[in-house]
Chains A and B, each alone.
Chain A
């Protein structure tokens, strides 16, 4: 009997261990799966063991400027300033368009900008790493293009290019 109880306990113990392992497995696997696949959302990611804050696209600071400029039929660089609020470095994985391109207020007559933003292939190459708790000016070479329909009033304008960015650790 003793041995039976013991066997029964052993069996129950084995069953409990299996259930616990399965639950742990589900919990851990589910968390990592969420962390891996979530590419849109509120800007924060979740991980099993820590929280990764969203990388933000910030306002430019003095000295930030485009090195190349658009002309009708041409392409030029797009720049963005990103900040990494995390205590660890992250890789800027992708930059995607997020709305219509508009001209700065000083060029209100530029209603047809002719400007479009071609998202670079993800992951960005070469890789862009944003150090921990840092802001970085990122240049995306040749990702802006201007059509021949760009109005004359667009000359000299700075264009606002709405984007979303995704960072990964």
Chain B
């Protein structure tokens, strides 16, 4: 009985195990299988990507300096607005067609700086520039050609320079220096004294090539001055500094002064019948100056630096006023303009009437300038009828001289018109 029961229990156990195995198998295989994805792969096709493109270059602006052309342009981008990596610059000799010449200097090759560069050593001619933006190996469209850059590599010749012979107290703060050069050229002017002090100025010539400068030379020493001028033309070419245009002046800003006024009796000058202390023909007054005057400012008929004398018949009339002031009248035929002044005699030489001395021939009054002695001498001629000198002998006294306005030294410095006292003396 127990053996039979054992034989009946084994198949039940096997069935149970089989069901469990089948269940486990179903759970372990069908379960994961059910949870897996369904998947499918295409058998090909094409996606797409798109490329940007470099926009056309901006037309450059140009400026010329000698053989260099400086260029500037707006930064380039791609059509989508991305920056480009560089630019290629070229030039043409015409507005269209022609040969494309790669630019040199800082424009050579593919430039990454800028946007701008300088083409250096450009030959003479009118050049039109283009800019081509690049991005790696991509080249954009070349820009339109620029306005013409006129390159002139020929330096200007030395300009002419004109300066006054003298720099004086009147013009020293604005000495006029002028000249000619190429139209529009810039002039670098230098004024130098004997001690190598310099003053510089820069002016620009007008459309005719004329240039003018007014330079203040107050700080330069008196004496010889030299001027040198070097031109730089509108293309930037500088003339040779070793061979400038030159001119010279003499600087003298010392105002002339009267150093002595002396009356002299004719007896001391060779005239006969002269009485000391009275007015007589042949008596004279000599005015001595610190430096030589421009004689033409005394008598316009006289040469500036030479001795001169007026002693023709009735050319010079010496007048003594009732106030004992001596003055001189010069005939217009002798001097269109004369400037002398008045001498206060310091004593009573006047007597009566209109007291004048003129005369003819050897008896004529005289006015003479001695450039070496720097003296102006007024000599009385014959007494003109109508007046009488004082009969009383006058003691020596100090005369004074008040110059006329307009008397100048050779440098153009004006003689002061204030009275100057002389030494004690008499006719």
Contacts and interface: CB of A to CB of B under 8 A. Distances in A.
Interface of A: 3, 7-8, 10-11, 13-15, 17-18, 20-22, 24-26, 28-29, 31-33, 35-36, 38-45, 47-48, 50, 52-58, 60, 64-66, 68-74, 76-80, 82, 90, 93, 95, 98, 101, 115, 117, 140, 144, 146, 148-152, 154-169
A26 B18 contact: no
A54 B47 contact: no
B2 interface: no
A32 B44 contact: no
A154 to B, nearest CB: 5
A135 to B, nearest CB: 12
Contact of A35 (B11, B36, B44, B139): B36
B37 to A, nearest CB: 4
Interface of B: 8, 11-12, 14-16, 18-19, 21-23, 25-26, 28-30, 32-34, 36-54, 78-80, 82, 135-139
Contacts of A95: 47
B48 A58 contact: no
Contact of A155 (B26, B39, B48, B138): B138
Given A17-B19, A36-B33, A45-B38, 4 more contacts: A22-B21, A29-B33, A70-B50, A79-B49
Given A3-B8, A25-B29, A17 B22 contact: yes
Contacts of B52: 69-71, 74, 155-156
B56 to A, nearest CB: 12
A18 B18 contact: yes
B50 A35 contact: no
Contacts of B82: 71, 74
Contact of A43 (B8, B32, B43): B43
Contact of A159 (B8, B38, B49): B49
B46 A57 contact: yes
Contacts of A45: 38-41
B102 to A, nearest CB: 17
